[in-house]
Amino acid sequence: MDHQWKPNDFSMPAAADLDPSNPEPRQRQEMEATDPIAARKVQKADREKLRRDKLNEQFVELGNTLDPDRPKNDKVTILVDTTQMLKDLTAEVNRLRAECSSLTEESRELTQEKNEL
């Protein structure tokens, strides 16, 4: 089956519906109707699963943005590489600011010399 899940696509069964340890959807609805505490726990678990899935998708996207050909794309590697890249970029920004300030000062001095001539 070559089908990619989209947020509003309900044609594919949810992973929870395929898990044999979870009750069938009809049984699940009956359980939710009879036991509101169990229903809240199931809903919380579903929300947590969606949150984890979204977080994992973001890690994959970040890893691919850093280096699409990276052989090792685990979360720790992605975070370490991202931290290093941010430090490098911050240092580059600071260097460029200093260079800009220096060039601005030099330009100001040259303009002043030109005006004195």
Task: Give per-residue pLDDT as tens, 82-96.
Answer: 999 999 999 999 999
Report d(CA 25, CA 83) in Å as an integer: 43
Res. 101: pLDDT tops 90: yes
Which residues fall within 8 angstroms of residue 70, CB to CB, at 6 or more apart? 63, 77
22 neighbors 16 (Cβ within 8 angstroms): yes
Task: Provide the residue ranges of all domains of the chain, joining segments of one domain with +.
Answer: 18-70, 74-117
Task: Give per-residue pLDDT as tens, 52-80.
Answer: 999 999 999 999 999 888 887 899 999 99
Report d(CA 28, CA 79) in Å as an integer: 38
Res. 11: pLDDT tops 50: no
Q: In a 10 Å sphere around its CB, with 0-12 CB exposed, 13-18 middle and 19+ buried, how is residue 82 labelled?
A: middle
Res. 10: pLDDT tops 50: no
